[in-house]
Chain A
Amino acid sequence: MKHRESEHAAGPVLRIEKRTQEMRGYMSWGIRAGALIAALLVCAVIIWAIVRINPLRVYAAMFQGSFGTKNKMWVSIRDICMLVCIGVGLAPAFKMRFWNIGAEGQILVGGLAAAACMIYFKNLPTGVLLLMMLPLSAIAGGVWGFVPGVFKAKWNTNETLFTLMMNYIAIQLTAYFVALWENPFGSNTVGVINGITRAGWFPEILGQKYLLNVIIVAVLVVGMYFYLRNSKQGYEIAVVGESENTARYAGIRVPHVVTRTVTISGAICGIAGFLAVAGASHTISTSTAGGKGFTAIIVAWMAKFNTFVMVLIGALLVFLDKGSIEIATQFGLSDHVSKMLTGIILFFVLGSEFFIEYKLHFRAANKEVAK
């Protein structure tokens, strides 16, 4: 780290300065890892102070609960895939500085399309059915992205509010179809669709129920990485995100790029709905998205839109989620304890970004301590 000035004169005790140079990769990752360790230490102190249980055993139980057996590992992998898929979907919109808060709705309509195929075409062979469900889910999600995209491009409407409102429409639409498809009658749930025939369920590949989820998401992760990094469209997204005026000056058709990008974003979230319905729950309800559309915002941001890093962040969040169920069972620690731990860990990890973006100067030491 370079010292750009030496100050001996009396100034404020602490001075915050934005870093002018980007930190080297290993440094910033060191800070993030340090933050995670610090968070685990703070959690450990709190766990011990409140419930007098050895924190290491709590962490071990959390790990056991999320990755402890082969089955648990696959379930966790499935859930990581879901989060990463949505994160990948959000990345292009966010990179363009388009605040797509509507992933929940896009997942739901994608899931609805998938569930409709499973219910109305249950006699088709699963392969054909899946090939039909994938594009239909993407189209449904795409429409949910296209509408706010067009309004933004043409009339510069506020996309945060617009996409948020689209969520409510999707939730009501789902509630309507759940009532239409309910099974048993009056229960207000759809139940497991095609439980006996398994029509439209992801087939086992190499004996693994969730391998197809991994394959689909892996394709999306790699595809989106290179799309954003190496393609012309990816470049256009970056320029529009940095400055619309620059983009216009460079001859980029901004409204066109906005609409196209948001539609792609929605379509991938729609595919996440397809994964949720055909690849995991085999049912549909208003809680099918279950807040994952919002959680994935954290995934996308923390990963700085690097789709490979999203896998790591997704794993951390799933670990916390599954771990919380296990510690409730093993130690009788209620839901609130695990929510507290999750809060502390996210606070530290997100907070560490401050030290990556800014330098701290102390007057006395005249040294940066951020690292």
Chain B
Amino acid sequence: MKKILAIVLVLCLAFVCAACNTGAPNDDPKVDDPKIDGPGTEAPFKVGVILVHDENSGYDLAHIEGVKAAAAELGLAESQLIFKYNIPEDETCYDTAIDLAEQGCNIIFSDSYGHQSFMMQAAPEYPDIMFVACTGDTAMFQPVDNVANVFPYTFESRYVSGVVAGMKLKELMDEGLVTEPHIGYVGAYPYAEVVSGYTAFFLGIRSIVPEAYMDVQFTNSWYDPIAEAEAANALIARGAVIIGQHADSTGAPGAVEKQREAGKEVYSVGYNVSMLAAAPTAALTSAQNNWVVLYKATLEKALKGEPIPTDYAAGYELDAVMISELGPSCAAGTAEKVAEVIAAIKAGILHVFDTATFTVNGETVASFLAIDTDGDWVGDTGEAIENGIFIESVLRSAPYFSLDIDGITKLN
């Protein structure tokens, strides 16, 4: 017994000594020099970022890289950024926002839609700190000034990814490999952000193949690889030849790649990240957000002490959205067509939601009230259609296009 005790004690001692010596070289980045100051402030300017997952999720990786790149461009050091990973959309988000505020953050971002109500809960307690809920949609109704929403014009990049899909569909039909222009779409939740996205994608396809039609299957989760794969398989079983997605995993592209291995002529259009690693032959491209643009614009204003707009959104015009590298399966001439479409969007010639290009119940839509003020989830103010164009993400940053247009069938 004594011997064992002695050994344990010696081990403890050795460990403590080792710990003290070896610890020194790897210094904690957070205890370092207080010299790095934000311009014009006494305490260093600090940015807090609340992330729903970590760098293993494509969506969160895009945010992490966006914040880091924006901070670097604005001369902020890494030590001025505090990332909080894997924060669920519950009271943990509120706790984390309060913690970041206590650590002296001047501005706090959250990256997931479900974080917003907890950010709103924290904001009144720290009126001097800016709380920005990315992809949120309720800041405009808040009685407090220090909350804001930002959102990229993802519908623009979805439209362009739809053009890529349309080019492929046309090629397949011209070659006689496919007879039915049937598209499938794996959506997360059935609300405006997703509806706006798949409608834009569909209109992009229809700009190339006017007779195309689409089925949408919802998974009721932002990230569920198994459900997304199952939805893709179900859509393919119904006859879909191209599967688009608004969900954060590689579930759908992976499933499409497997179906290809089994001899089916099917392709995939992804979201957030290039899907070429998960689906080398199936992936055509992915719609992407370039978050650095939005983070930089917001941080720049915060650093200068300028007011931050309650809603901020940007698209191709400011390079806030993009599509990923075209896969080897893309149809010939796709790159040229994509460049042409992007140029037209930038020039303001091409409008994604031109009411001349779609109908609802066989009729052209002339009026749409986008903003709901009385809490019944039906728009009662804010005319979104001007001169035949449905203007998306201008009345507020989060999408509000929620029309069920002809040609799209919701399966669940």
Q: Which residues of A contact B (CB under 8 A)?
A: 37-38, 41, 44-45, 48, 52-57, 69, 71-72, 75, 184-189, 191-192, 195-196, 280-283, 285, 287-288, 290, 325, 328-331, 334-335, 367, 369, 371
Assuming the A-B contacts A52-B22, A53-B26, are A187 and B113 also in contact, with contact meaning beta carbons closer than 8 angstroms in the complex? yes
B15, B98, B137, B143: the one within 8 Å of A41 (CB) = B15
Q: Do residues B28 and A281 form an inter-chain contact, with CB atoms below 8 A?
A: no
- CB of B265 within 8 A of chain A? no
Check A195 against B121 for contact (C-beta < 8 Å). yes
Mask, B178-190, CB within 8 Å of A = 1, is 0000000000011
Expressed in whole angstroms, the Cα–Cα distance for A56 and B23 within the complex equals: 8
B2-18 interface with A by 8 A CB criterion: 4, 8, 11-12, 15-16, 18
Residues of A within 8 A of B1 (CB): 367, 369, 371
Are A192 and B102 closer than 8 Å at their CB atoms? no
Given contacts A69-B102, A187-B113, A328-B54, 13 further A-B contacts (CB under 8 A): A53-B23, A53-B26, A54-B20, A186-B377, A188-B220, A191-B117, A192-B118, A195-B120, A283-B91, A285-B89, A328-B83, A334-B85, A335-B86
**For residue B103, which residue of chain A has the nearest CB?**
A69
Whether A184 lies near B138 (C-beta < 8 A) is yes
User: Does B382 have its Cβ within 8 Å of any Cβ on chain A?
Assistant: no
Cα-based distance from A184 to B22 in the complex (angstroms)? 52
Closest 10 CB pairs of A and B: A186-B191, A54-B23, A185-B377, A281-B91, A192-B117, A191-B117, A75-B95, A328-B85, A56-B19, A281-B90
Asked whether A334 lies within 8 Å of B114 as measured between CB atoms, the reply is no
Instruction: Say whether, besides A75-B95, A189-B89, A328-B85, A283 and B117 are in contact (CB < 8 Å).
Output: yes
Instruction: Please count the residue pairs between chain A and chain B whose beta carbons lie under 8 angstroms apart in the complex.
Output: 108
A52 contact set on B, CB distance < 8 A: 22, 26
Interface size class of B (residues with CB under 8 A): 35 or more
Report B246 CB to chain A, min CB distance, Å.
13
**Which residues of chain A are near B24, meaning CB under 8 Å?**
54
Given A329-B85, A335-B86, also A282-B191 (CB < 8 A)? no
Knowing A53-B26, A71-B99, A369-B1, say if A41 contacts B86 (CB, 8 Å): no
- Please list 28 pairs of residues, one from A and one from B, whose beta carbons are closer than 8 Å in the complex, sorted by A's number: A38-B8, A41-B15, A52-B22, A52-B26, A56-B20, A75-B99, A184-B137, A185-B377, A187-B113, A187-B189, A187-B191, A189-B117, A192-B121, A195-B121, A281-B90, A281-B91, A283-B91, A325-B86, A325-B96, A328-B54, A328-B86, A329-B84, A330-B28, A335-B54, A335-B86, A369-B1, A369-B4, A371-B1
Select A184's contact among B95, B98, B118, B377, beta carbons within 8 Å: B377
Evaluate contact between B23 and A329: CB separation under 8 angstroms.
no
Q: Which residues of A contact B113 (CB under 8 A)?
A: 187
A364 CB to nearest B CB, Å: 13
Chain A residues near B82 (CB, 8 Å)? 329
CB of A334 within 8 A of CB of B121, answer: no
Q: A188-B189, A195-B120, A325-B85 are in contact. Are A48 and B91 (CB under 8 A)?
A: no
Report the bound CA distance from A329 to B96 in whole Å. 12
Is A280's CB under 8 angstroms from B91's CB?
yes
- Distance of A196 from chain B, by nearest CB (Å): 8
Could you tell me which B residues sit within 8 Å of A by CB distance? 1, 4, 8, 11-12, 15-16, 18-20, 22-24, 26, 28-30, 54, 56, 82-91, 95-96, 98-99, 102, 113-114, 117-118, 120-121, 137-138, 143, 189-192, 220, 377
- Find chain B residues with CB under 8 A from A189 CB: 89, 114, 117
Shortest A81–chain B CB gap in Å is: 13
Which residue on chain B has the smallest CB distance to residue A179? B220
Given contacts A330-B30, A369-B4, is CB(A54)–CB(B91) below 8 Å?
Answer: no
Q: In the complex, how many angstroms separate the beta carbon of B265 from the nearest chain A beta carbon?
A: 34
- Residues in B neighbouring A371, C-beta threshold 8 A: 1
Q: A41-B12, A69-B102 are in contact. Are A287 and B22 (CB under 8 A)?
A: no
**Residues of A contacting B20 in the complex (Cβ-Cβ under 8 angstroms):** 54, 56
Residues of B within 8 A of A57 (CB): 23, 28
Q: What are the residues of chain A within 8 A of B26 when measuring CB–CB?
A: 52-54
Q: Which of A38, A71, A285, A325 contacts B102 (CB 8 A)?
A: A71
Q: Are B120 and A71 in contact (CB under 8 A)?
A: no
A38 to B9, CA, bound (A): 11
Given A192-B117, A195-B117, A195-B120, are A44 and B15 neighbors across the interface (CB < 8 Å)? yes
Closest Cβ–Cβ distance, residue B27 to chain A (whole Å) = 9
Q: Which one, B19, B89, B143, contacts A55 given CB within 8 A?
A: B19
Specify which chain B residues have a CB less than 8 angstroms from the CB of A45 in the assembled complex.
Answer: 15
- Chain B residues with CB under 8 Å of A53's CB are 23, 26
Give every chain A residue within 8 A of B117 (Cβ-Cβ): 189, 191-192, 195, 283
The residue in chain A whose Cβ has the minimal distance to the Cβ of B16 is: A56
A37, B377: Cα distance in complex, Å: 56
Q: Which residues of chain A come closer than 8 Å to B96, judged between CB atoms?
A: 325
Among residues of B, the one whose C-beta sits closest to the C-beta of A76 is: B95
Task: Determine if B85 and A335 form an interchain contact, defined as CB atoms under 8 angstroms apart.
Answer: yes
- Chain A positions within 8 Å of B19 at CB level: 44, 48, 54-56
Shortest Cβ distance from residue B395 to the other chain A in the assembled complex, whole angstroms? 15
A198 CA / B137 CA spacing, docked (Å): 21
Chain B residues with Cβ below 8 Å from A369 are: 1, 4
Minimum CB–CB distance for B397 against chain A, Å: 14
- Looking at A38, A53, A54, A330, the one whose CB has the most chain B CB atoms below 10 A away is A54
Chain A residues with CB under 8 Å of B88's CB are: 287, 290
